[in-house]
Amino acid sequence: MKVIKYLIPYVLISSFNYYFAKEAIISSSPISFNLIRYVVSSIIFISISRKLIFNKDVIQLAIYTTASSLLWALGLEYVSPAESAVLSYTMPLFSLPIAFLVLSETPSVIEIAGLAIGFLGVVLYGLPLTHGFTLLGSIITIINAIFWALFSVFYRKLRDYNPLTVNASQFIIGSIILAILLPIDPRIDPNTQFIYGISYTSILGGALSFFLWNMMVKLEKIPKVTILSFSVPILTTFVEYALYDNPPLPIQLAGIFLMFLGIIVSRIRSLSK
């Protein structure tokens, strides 16, 4: 499967991204944090592609991506990295109906079954974390998941374009949007903690992560790719254990098993080819 060569680095990068973002958000506003990420990503993609495209779909993509990034960072002010990961991975639930409405991509029965099993795993995994949820932080992070689903579908819609050019264009537009919003909250404290966090989330967790996700939805239908995203909370659990010596609870292990099972079920036909 061609998508695997993009999935593996994406999962590895994304599993750490929540923790580095949390570090950076402590020392900056969501707007200034994302403006730096978007400017860095713009420079990277423009230096490689040396070309931009501007049309209605790219502008919509940029709006959805920027909204998702802002809401994700804002949510991290209220919830922990682990909680943010669980709430963000409600995204596959929203991506299927959006893909059907925008792209007329109809999920197969096996893909729906895989999604249902995987999402049940997300629910089980998140149950022990619910005591720490704030209502506001939870709502913001789930809305972020909706915008993530939207920009994933538009990446797919723009699959005939060069993904480097698509990303260069959407990051330029996003940077303009964030620069306009910056006076609302320009707070930033460029301390060591912030520099580590912003460096990771701008390059690996920013430009490279978006490119890898773009490549995955370019290669395969939205239902298949979004179910694969359950791999991230699975690895995030082991990252948390390694970093903080915080082993998962039995119910979380059951959730991890179901997320993994959901991925396997959704890929049955692909694996048989």
Q: List alpha helices for the chain, DSSP H.
A: 4-26, 30-49, 56-76, 81-88, 91-103, 109-126, 135-157, 163-181, 192-202, 209-219, 222-228, 231-244, 250-266, 268-271
Q: Per residue of the chain (273 residues), what is the pLDDT tens digit?
A: 678 889 889 988 988 898 899 999 999 999 999 999 999 999 999 999 989 999 999 999 999 999 999 999 999 988 878 778 777 878 888 888 898 889 888 877 887 888 888 778 877 876 776 665 677 888 888 899 999 999 999 999 999 999 999 999 999 999 999 999 999 999 999 999 999 999 999 999 999 999 999 999 998 888 778 777 777 877 777 777 777 777 777 887 788 788 778 777 766 655 444
In this structure, are residues 82 and 238 in contact, taking their beta carbons and an 8 Å threshold?
no
In this structure, are residues 43 and 71 in contact, taking their beta carbons and an 8 Å threshold?
no
**Total tally of structural domains belonging to the chain:** 1
Q: What is the pLDDT of residue 180?
A: 97
pTM to 2 decimal places: 0.86
146 located within any domain:
yes
The burial class, CB within 10 Å (0-12 / 13-18 / 19+), for 49 is middle
Instruction: Name every residue whose Cβ is closer than 8 Å to that of residue 148 and which is 6 or more positions away in sequence.
Output: 68, 72, 88, 91
Q: What is the pLDDT of residue 56?
A: 95
Q: What is the pLDDT of residue 89?
A: 78
Full residue range of the structural domain in which residue 35 is found: 4-106+132-221
20 located within any domain:
yes
259-to-63, 83, 185, 193 alpha-carbon distances in Å: 30, 16, 38, 33
74-to-21, 173, 255 alpha-carbon distances in Å: 11, 20, 27
Phi and psi for 188 in degrees, rounded to 5?
-160, 135
Q: What is the pLDDT of residue 105?
A: 82
266 located within any domain:
no
Q: What is the pLDDT of residue 269?
A: 58
Closest by CA to 142, choosing from 86, 88, 189, is: 88
Whole-number Å distance between alpha carbons of 155 and 148: 10
Residue that has been written with the tokens 């370019």 in this structure: 218
255 located within any domain:
no
94 located within any domain:
yes
257 located within any domain:
no
263 located within any domain:
no
119 located within any domain:
no
Whole-number Å distance between alpha carbons of 272 and 35: 44
